[in-house]
Structure 1
Amino acid sequence: MTALLEVKGVTKRFGGLVANKDISFSINAGEILGLIGPNGSGKSTVMKCIMGIEKPNAGQVLIDGVNVAGWPTHRIARQGVGLVFQHSHPLQRQTILEHIKLALLPDNLFMLATDHGVTRRAEEIAARVGLSKVMHRLPRTLPFADLRRLELAKAIARNPKVVLVDEPFAGLTAAEVADFSQLIASFRADGHAVLLVDHNVKGVAALVDRVFAMYLGERVAEGSAEEVMRNETVRRVYLGGELKLAARPERDGKGRTPLLSVNNLGVLYAKATALDDVSIHVGEGEFVSVVGLNGAGKTTLFNAISGLLPYSGAIAWRGESLSGRTPGSIARGGIVQCPETRELFGDMSVRENLDLGGQHLPPAGTARQLEWLFGLFPILKSRQNQAARTLSGGEQQMLAIARALMMQPKLLILDEPTLGLAPVILEQLSKAMETLRQTTDITVLLGEQNVTFALPHADRVYVLEHSRIVWEGGPGRFAAEAGAGYL
């Protein structure tokens, strides 16, 4: 059987960066291949090379035996490729039906008003993807899930041989994910070759026939979903290495009213669901880890707690609602976030950045806090007069954490502190975390993709996946269930 899509030895470079290196896979008619990998692994570049958005430096992309590598996008679409975009950008003055008609006749727009056969076909496609009842409405009046259905409708309008689907479940509720899974499965039943791109195996396991896993532009595993989840290289990529646990002494405060309670939290970005019915609690003195892949919703959760985003549900601090509180009021009340992006003042010195964090302290208090922080992060003491932008990535992360600690928080929120850091820096941060636990009464809420960093410092773990909490428990249980619960 000739594969409908064959990728042979595709390599793509951006200057000195190799985004894809010798990538090869094939998809037959009536088959779904899951292309998975963490953020930055090269998945999107592979899709762009297939669709002609990027031209590969080497290799072939064959559609039903025809090499289309380097062709312009419109020719590849005519050859039989449809793309379901992750983000919907509809024409706001055209109805849903008119969008589908445009997709049916991309080369002959003048026939739109006269060909009744096109209208009938567009209505059939709308019915197939569940848009019959709203096909005469404008996109701005529709919920997010219907906009995603519109992307599916446009992609299959010309009955392509190959359908590329980019992160189809992002921003959808659980019920909507089930509906979309059925729609995508129907593409397989109709004989299409489907390439389904997502961050993790679990998100696509029930839908795909095979999985192709990538990391840093290269293939790391291929096989059934179960085989890939058991693959040791894949486990290292997603979990960060071998899972190790640390003995956790009991902390005071257990059994009391939680320091922080988040109940039934929901957050929307425009019409997309960023958090869906999320509930967590953090006891006084606890170290709680929220683990999840890129895009799961960790930063959104922390920004909602910090008062930076509107939300539904309830967030309580020491039993009192945070609703209506400003971010500044919440920070002064004891909740301080160290953001993933660090947000340092690059042209200011290390000491000036720290002084900003401690501006509420009297001179004696500032001196004591600085002395303690320089013990925690000794490198910052020797860098006091150096501009923050000239520090290494690891030193900048230490400065960002130290600045947050200058505020003497009761709850420190750390968002992806290990992102992009070298192993030697991770070890230093890990030692600092343990020092915080052993020598202070601080409470920490940690968001991480790197499970091997998060677990040793956790009393409890939450797994956040596609905007929802899907697992909760102790680090020991997580280690035992990590393969099924996180990959």
Structure 2
Amino acid sequence: MPDAPMLEVKQLTKRFGGLVAVKDLSFSIRGGEILGLIGPNGSGKSTAMRTVMGVDPPTSGSIRLDGKEIGGLPSHKVSRLGVGLVFQHSRPLNRQTVLENIKVALLPDRLNMLFHSGEVDTKARAIAERVGLGAVLDRKPPTLAFADLRRLELAKAIAHHPKLVLVDEPFAGLTASEVAAFSELIREFRDEGRAVLLVDHNVKGVSALVDRVVAMYLGEWIAEGSAAEVMANETVRRVYLGGALTKTSRPPPTVNGSAPLLKVDDVVVHYGKALAVQGVSLHVREGEFVSVVGLNGAGKTTLFNAICGLVPHAGTVQWDGAPLRGKTPAAIARGGIVQCPETRELFGDMTVRENLELGGHGLTDAERPERLEWLFDLFPILRAREGQVARTLSGGEQQMLAIARSLMMKPRLLILDEPTLGLAPVILEVLSRALERLRSTTNLTVLLGEQNVTFAIPHADRMYVLDHGKIVWEGLPERFEEEAARHYL
């Protein structure tokens, strides 16, 4: 039937032990259609794609390709039936040339299907020309630009002329012109009647390309429709923004002088060939609480790691008027910049008190117990848990311990990276009260990285919006809803 879907997923569920990564997910794609599967970090979209491809077997549910059940088939059989996967991270054979990489992808997986090497060469060259690799056929992957590595992944995926193409995070690390070129290649698949499933965390990033969008959260379907309809959906906005936006009237911070305590100028960070931070500039004055908001993958963690000396970068970072270049991360931390990382990095087999005492190893014997008492007053649950090993704490308790350990170092600037990630509302209230207390009773300066905008706004004197490694908006929190919220997705 001409209107029958090429891919039909019904009530797909995938469990990893006690974790339900995908729950009762249903969607379909027709030939000649591009479907965007979107959701914030941890929503289950990549697991759903891997299950369709056969990388992970489904726990239950149905996956049908042209009416044939493929759920549970191994990935090589799914590929043979006409499904191609473009990985987010390039996995080329680094000792072989671009042409040889494509030839390997063209080789059949059954001996009785072998064909003449001249035919393989012709097909490989045609595919390379199609995706824009014709000029680099004899080069090896380590010498390629990042965009060409992405094109190579695309070339390998289409080597068997798939009817369904799965593309994971297609535009991560690409410049605007490279995104346009890559988008055109994907549109060509649609024009040829192929079905395309784009997996991305950002609705805005794929809105100009997709025909429909399915939004997920915590493994479940939450919305479907055009990109505009999904971006306007209240459930989607709540998931991405963190809830209803509320305006706040905050007293201005006490700013000691006009010079910024932290000044970041034109910082650029590459991970290999990928451009993660693109010319970011910002400043934080002493006593300010500044929020940097952005979706997963926007570059917040990379920016913070550059400030703390954990990743090499171009541009300048100045602390209290002096450049930080050449200083070790340890020296930067001792100088007053302390980061509480998104991953917490606790010592799981050490007790709460031992983790805190590690944070305070630079304090004097007189300062240490005084600081511990102050932190136990800030987070009372830690006092009750001080003899408990960290790995047995709940997620919320671990987050409190991570923040407390950072505060144990007596920082002048505390960098909080995604402190609300995965936490229940009751824990968010505890963290919110703690931040308000820090602001009202100390001279601490805070740089907060968040994708939960409704948590960030009440705790910000100023805000920056980071999108694909660039600052796209800055201003006062009360202006965010009017000027930036509609563009945030």
Aligned to 1:277: 279
Aligned to 2:14: 12
Aligned mates of 1:407, 1:147 — CA distance in 2:
43
- Which of 410, 429, 432 does residue 431 from structure 2 map onto? 429
Aligned mates of 2:390, 2:417 — CA distance in 1:
19
Contact 1:377 1:398 in 2 (8 A): yes
Matched, 1:42 2:50: no
- Which of 291, 299, 302 does residue 300 from structure 1 map onto? 302
Instruction: Kindly provide the CA deviation profile for residues 352-405 of structure 1, in whole angstroms up to 9, marking residues without a partner as x.
Output: 332332333333333433333222122223333333333332222222212211
Aligned mates of 2:293, 2:308 — CA distance in 1:
18
Aligned to 1:453: 455
Aligned-CA RMSD value: 2.1
Q: Shift of residue 51 of structure 1?
A: 1.1
Contact 1:101 1:112 in 2 (8 A): no
Contact 2:248 2:478 in 1 (8 A): no
- Which of 312, 315, 337 does residue 313 from structure 1 map onto? 315
Contact 1:112 1:118 in 2 (8 A): no
Secondary structure of the residue aligned to 2:230 is helix
Read off the aligned partner of 1:476 and give its amino acid letter: E
Alpha-carbon spacing, 1:462–1:50, altered in 2? closer, same or farther (3 Å)? same
Contact 1:11 1:57 in 2 (8 A): yes
Q: Shift of residue 146 of structure 1?
A: 0.8
Aligned mates of 1:73, 1:354 — CA distance in 2:
47
Read off the aligned partner of 2:67 and give its amino acid letter: G
Contact 2:293 2:450 in 1 (8 A): yes
Aligned mates of 2:71, 2:454 — CA distance in 1:
40
Aligned length: 487
Contact 1:369 1:406 in 2 (8 A): yes
The two structures have a TM-score, normalised by structure 2, of 0.94
Contact 1:235 1:483 in 2 (8 A): no
- Which of 189, 193, 205 does residue 195 from structure 2 map onto? 193
Aligned mates of 1:95, 1:387 — CA distance in 2:
51
Aligned mates of 2:383, 2:47 — CA distance in 1:
42
Alpha-carbon spacing, 1:194–1:405, altered in 2? closer, same or farther (3 Å)? same
- Which of 253, 260, 263 does residue 265 from structure 2 map onto? 263
Matched, 1:132 2:163: no
Secondary structure of the residue aligned to 2:160 is coil
Matched, 1:401 2:392: no
Matched, 1:476 2:478: yes
Aligned mates of 2:55, 2:391 — CA distance in 1:
34
Aligned to 2:247: 245
Q: Shift of residue 82 of structure 1?
A: 1.0
Secondary structure of the residue aligned to 1:344 is coil
Aligned mates of 1:357, 1:22 — CA distance in 2:
44
Secondary structure of the residue aligned to 1:90 is coil
Contact 1:279 1:469 in 2 (8 A): yes
Contact 1:302 1:413 in 2 (8 A): yes
Instruction: Kindly provide the CA deviation profile for residues 187-209 of structure 1, in whole angstroms up to 9, marking residues without a partner as x.
Output: 21222111000002111111111
Q: Shift of residue 100 of structure 1?
A: 1.5
Q: Shift of residue 26 of structure 1?
A: 1.6
Read off the aligned partner of 1:289 and give its amino acid letter: S
Aligned mates of 1:28, 1:254 — CA distance in 2:
61
- Which of 178, 181, 185 does residue 179 from structure 1 map onto? 181
Q: Stretches of 4+ moved more than 6 A in 1?
A: 108-113
Aligned to 2:349: 347
Aligned mates of 1:96, 1:267 — CA distance in 2:
26
Aligned mates of 2:20, 2:335 — CA distance in 1:
47
Aligned mates of 1:405, 1:204 — CA distance in 2:
40
**Bigger shift: residues 279-288 or 49-58:** 49-58
Aligned mates of 1:221, 1:439 — CA distance in 2:
43
Q: Shift of residue 113 of structure 1?
A: 9.4
Q: Shift of residue 210 of structure 1?
A: 0.6
Alpha-carbon spacing, 1:372–1:139, altered in 2? closer, same or farther (3 Å)? same
Aligned to 1:389: 391
Read off the aligned partner of 1:55 and give its amino acid letter: P
- Which of 20, 24, 27 does residue 25 from structure 1 map onto? 27
Secondary structure of the residue aligned to 1:40 is coil
Contact 1:374 1:381 in 2 (8 A): yes
Aligned counterparts, 1:97-176, within 5 A:
97-107=99-109, 114-176=116-178
Alpha-carbon spacing, 1:160–1:384, altered in 2? closer, same or farther (3 Å)? closer
Contact 1:410 1:442 in 2 (8 A): yes
Aligned mates of 1:318, 1:110 — CA distance in 2:
70
Aligned mates of 2:381, 2:19 — CA distance in 1:
31
Matched, 1:61 2:54: no
Aligned mates of 1:395, 1:474 — CA distance in 2:
31
Aligned mates of 2:304, 2:78 — CA distance in 1:
42
- Which of 375, 378, 382 does residue 376 from structure 1 map onto? 378
**Bigger shift: residues 234-243 or 359-368:** 359-368
Aligned to 2:238: 236
Alpha-carbon spacing, 1:215–1:167, altered in 2? closer, same or farther (3 Å)? same
Contact 1:229 1:483 in 2 (8 A): no
Alpha-carbon spacing, 1:408–1:257, altered in 2? closer, same or farther (3 Å)? same
Read off the aligned partner of 1:34 and give its amino acid letter: G
Alpha-carbon spacing, 1:417–1:138, altered in 2? closer, same or farther (3 Å)? same
Secondary structure of the residue aligned to 1:402 is helix
Contact 1:417 1:448 in 2 (8 A): yes
Q: Shift of residue 226 of structure 1?
A: 0.7
**Bigger shift: residues 60-69 or 427-436:** 60-69
Aligned mates of 1:246, 1:344 — CA distance in 2:
34
The two structures have a TM-score, normalised by structure 1, of 0.95
Q: Shift of residue 436 of structure 1?
A: 0.9
Read off the aligned partner of 1:269 and give its amino acid letter: Y
Alpha-carbon spacing, 1:456–1:195, altered in 2? closer, same or farther (3 Å)? same
Aligned mates of 2:198, 2:451 — CA distance in 1:
22
Alpha-carbon spacing, 1:367–1:45, altered in 2? closer, same or farther (3 Å)? closer
Aligned mates of 2:350, 2:17 — CA distance in 1:
32
Contact 1:102 1:109 in 2 (8 A): no
- Structure 2, unpaired ranges of 5+: none
Aligned mates of 2:220, 2:357 — CA distance in 1:
44
